[in-house]
Amino acid sequence: MELREYLPIVILAVLSLAFAVLSLLVSSLVRPSRPTPAKLAPYECGIEPERLPKGERFSVKFYVVAMLFIIFDIETIFLFPWAVGFRQLGLFGLVEMAIFIALVFVAYVYVWKAGGLDWVDARRGRRAEVEARTTAPEERELLHAG
């Protein structure tokens, strides 16, 4: 194959990159720039945005559940090409997909039993749930004392 055969692809890539850069440049030059506090504030569906107190962060459990969701979501995407070619794959394809689904199911059960899908740490138990719902400092002190 010669490099000339790739010339249309290179031209298309250069044109699309030039269009993107030029569009951003022109829009930044033409748009009005009148910042106000209301325009600079983050928009959260009409709800006043709340900032976490300094030093408070999201739990790692939140990110673990999000990553697990993405992993299982990607695994289910593999079902679509299999479903399209199901008739051509025959019994071999059916057995292979059964093995794949079984492995995904085993991984799901493992994560579930390990507590990866629990929002509240099971080791902390009921006391932590009650404490999380309690807002008064006096009640928290009573829980810690008892």
Domain locations in the chain as residue ranges: 3-114
CA dist 86 and 80 (Å) reads 10
pLDDT tier at 29, thresholds 50, 70, 90 = very high
The torsion region of residue 46 among left (phi > 0), alpha (psi -120 to 50) and beta comes to: left
Distance from C-alpha of 134 to C-alpha of 128, rounded to nearest angstrom: 10
pTM assigned to the model: 0.42
pLDDT at 36: 87
Q: What is the pLDDT of residues 89-124, one digit of tens each?
A: 889 989 998 998 898 889 888 888 887 777 765 555
Assigned CATH for 3-114: 1.20.58
Higher pLDDT, 50 or 35: 35
pLDDT at 4 over 70: yes
**Rg of the chain (C-alpha set):** 27
Retrieve residue 18's tokens: 């030039």
Structure confidence by residue, pLDDT tens digits, 40-86: 877 767 666 666 677 777 777 778 788 888 888 888 888 888 888 88
Which are the contacts of 64, defined by CB distance < 8 A and separation ≥ 6?
A: 116
